[in-house]
Amino acid sequence: MRVAIVTGGAGGIGGAIIQRFLELGYRVASIDLPSERHVDGIIGENLIQIALDLRDLDQFEQTVARVVNHFGRVDVLVNNGGIVGSNADDGFGTLGNWREVMAINLDAVWGLCKAAAEHLARSSNGRIINIGSINSEYPSPGGGAYPASKHAVYGLTKCLAFELGGQGVTVNAVLPGAVETGMTRSHPSFESWSARVAACSAVGRIGRPEDVAAAVAFLASEEAGFITGHGLYVDGGLHLNLVR
Ligand SMILES: NC(=O)c1ccc[n+]([C@@H]2O[C@H](COP(=O)([O-])OP(=O)(O)OC[C@H]3O[C@@H](n4cnc5c(N)ncnc54)[C@H](O)[C@@H]3O)[C@@H](O)[C@H]2O)c1
């Protein structure tokens, strides 16, 4: 049975990815902050939850080792946990916001890839899938650190694809547009904002977490073994409008 680590597992997209993996017969280790919904322990035969702050990079090696001890292997790492940070009206925001967004959205991706790489190389189909964003290639007004972090995640994805390809590990990014989750629902005028975004997309709706999970499942599969260093838009064609 293939084993996947998914960060941000308590969130909208992370939850859908975990659900999809479980349906496909994977064993899953979910990483997220401790909460009522996300404890630290065994949830079932095929699911463990690990309570970890993604800013604690010095915990990553032992966290991956814990997954290997529990399930015997790691085949897939999905770096999904992330934050938007504060809106930066001037495009800069505060240094504190910049550092927090970079720590969670970028440093943690680097750190977990590093900690998991040797284990993924032992899998016959090792996979890293980083959740970037439409903001991995396009800016967002008032976005501040967020688009910068997501551009960097995509850049790191391409570099690691090259570095790890010889060990049989593919590294790809999934680039969602707007997806209805806690992250977007916290938008002060979610209904009108999502209607506007939907109207700008090609398919006329915003995304569902399951849309992203389906793309992740494909990139994690054995049949996707010749795809690496790729950024796969899952945005209903929203990025086409951004370049029009
Ligand atoms: N929702 C969207 O429209 C959208 C669009 C593009 C990209 N994304 C990306 O998708 C990913 C998932 O976002 P989502 O929409 O499901 O949001 P979400 O807020 O529902 O989930 C994010 C999860 O990350 C976890 N997290 C945040 N900081 C953490 C930390 N320090 N340590 C451990 N866990 C932490 C949160 O607890 C949460 O469970 C993010 O990387 C986000 O940037 C989302």
For atom 27 of ligand 1, which residue has the closest CA? 82
How many independent structural domains does the chain possess?
1
% of the chain at pLDDT higher than 70: 99
Strand partners, 172: 129
Look up the pTM and report it: 0.98
| CATH number, residue 209 | 3.40.50.720
Structure tokens at 38: 């996300």
Strand partners, 78: 6, 129
Return the pLDDT at 146.
95
Q: Per residue in 10-67, pLDDT tens?
A: 999 999 999 999 999 999 999 999 999 999 999 999 999 999 999 999 999 999 999 9
Q: What is the mean pLDDT of the chain?
A: 96
Which is the closest atom of ligand 1 to the Cα of 55?
Answer: 31
Q: In what order do the strands lie in the sheet with 3-7?
A: 41-44, 47-51, 27-32, 3-7, 76-79, 126-131, 169-176, 231-234
Ligand 1: which of 37, 63, 181, 190 to mutate, judged by most atoms within 8 Å of the beta carbon? 181
For 53, the domain range is 3-242
Instruction: Please check whether residue 125 is in contact with residue 171, taking contact to mean a CB–CB distance below 8 angstroms.
Output: no
Active site positions, annotated = 146
In angstroms, the CA 42 to CA 145 distance is 35
Q: Per residue in 69-116, pLDDT tens?
A: 999 999 999 999 999 999 888 889 999 999 999 999 999 999 999 999
| CA 113 to ligand 1 centroid distance, Å | 18
Instruction: Please check whether residue 13 is in contact with residue 131, taking contact to mean a CB–CB distance below 8 angstroms.
Output: yes
